[in-house]
Structure 1
Amino acid sequence: MTLVDPNPTPLARLLGTTIGATLAERMRGAGVDFRPKTMVRALSGEAGQVRRAHLAGGEVLETDLVIVARGATRDTGWLAAAGLAADAGGLTCDGACRAISIAGEPDPNIYAAGDVARWPNPLYNDRPMTVEHWGNAVDQARHAAANMMAAPSAQQPYRHLPAFWSRQFGLNIKLAGHTAGADALALVQGSRASHRFLAVYVRAGRSIAAVSFDEARWLPAYAEAVAAGARFPPFPDAIDQPRIERLKPGFPAARPPAHRAAPAPEASHV
């Protein structure tokens, strides 16, 4: 299998290239031909069957199956046309999940939840964010429904710690928190060489997220520390904690905005 990815490593935009390099190493060890910083420009074939993938550099890969991972594009045009503050990044809401109108006021009759809802998360100093995960969609919908039933004076802010898990090439990967804006990364358990570790993302001295590669037993404690806004390191006196390795996360530079109708693909599996 060949993996063509415009990013330097797998999951580079979520976890950074420092952690992503571990996954790339694991992929290559499993026989995957990983092609970073590369894009598929075209597919061709005969009789309705794909046969070739044409890469940006001119190389042609012979193939009979292509899986394209493009992500999702929010359909918010109809919301903006209805007078709500919506764009390609989502529908702007207040802390109680009420949709914000173009006049800048919350609409008491419209609540939003899930991938499209962009709200100020109190766990991250009211930083506006969207979370594209089913766990958030369930929790936010429950919270929005409770606020719908509550009096205007009893609206409660929605607090959510983003989380996801994935199993890839024998690795159990779990993330708790929001890595965006991290200016430092620290390995607090295990080692990258063993492909088994727990790392904490730091922003301005505060722990904002934690990721585990086959070290999930430590994750709940660090997730609680992240949710509490703990300074780094959250457990400075832990007797079972090795010397902390401080690193740069290595997030790629932001991509220029893609045309709404044709978002740039994240990765292609050939």
Structure 2
Amino acid sequence: MYINILGSAAGLPSKTRKTQSIILDMVNEINEYFLIDVGEALQHQLLKTSIKPSKINHVFITHLHGDHIYGLPGFLSSRAHQGGEGKPLTVYGPKGLKEWLDITFSVSETTLNYPVDFIEISDGDQFKVKNVDITLKKLNHNIDSFLYIFKEENQKGALNVDKLKSEGIQPGPIYSEIKESETFMYNNKVYFTKDFLGPEIKGRKIAIHGDTRPVEDINYLNLINHSDCIIHEATFLDYEYEKANDYYHSEIHKVLDIQKDLNVKKYIFTHISNRYEEDFLRQFINNLPNDILIAHDFLKVEIPRKI
């Protein structure tokens, strides 16, 4: 599993940052990418990667501000000609998203050669895509904005091959059958599969925020606790608490202070204001611990399996 930041700017793009788009790369796990938010430059950014639009079958929109959705009509149209023909796509987003797209496609006389299912989201919704559970939480922004939590199902532990061999069971197709069963029989003896499995492999948990003021609600904090990675906006970096609050955005130190007692393996802060000069950013980043990253376009971070 990888996180790819394809757009890391706040509001307005700069020469080095495009507006918001994030890819959750689960090709190795479920053979597809999840796309979270679609800034206007997404198509150009994708051309600089090996990501195939035809493997993006689920799009998750956090909120309806332009820097998060202006690339969506173009992406949906292009996907139709980039291997997406006939491949269904599901778009999750707040109320109004489908209406906006319907009007855009109607006025531009755009048609798609694949079916699109629109799912209108609300606070507390839960969905499932293959082996990934998705939970939503409404945040604190000046329009409805949401947190998406992606949680893999736990997996059975690895087969203890040496123990199987000690029972005379040699490698072969029977190993797959054993792992998928609760019990199995060999030489007229019944075995419990759990006795031949290693520890359960915990599913990874990724929390991706839309724009928001810092949230201190205990239910929210419990929801994001034990995340392998939290992606959070940090429009403000230099202790501008009051300005961040006035604009319904977050200041990085405030977020980290609120979440200081959580068990989180890695933070990625994105939605970075272009007010900050590169020298400031470079020095700021150099002073951060290794588990806290400031996103840049094309940042790619591996999220390893839990052991």
User: Which bin holds the TM-score, normalised by the shorter protein?
Assistant: under 0.3
Q: TM-score, length-normalised on structure 1?
A: 0.27
Q: TM-score, length-normalised on structure 2?
A: 0.24
The structure where strand makes up a greater share of residues is 1
Larger Cα-atom Rg: 2
The structure where helix makes up a greater share of residues is 2
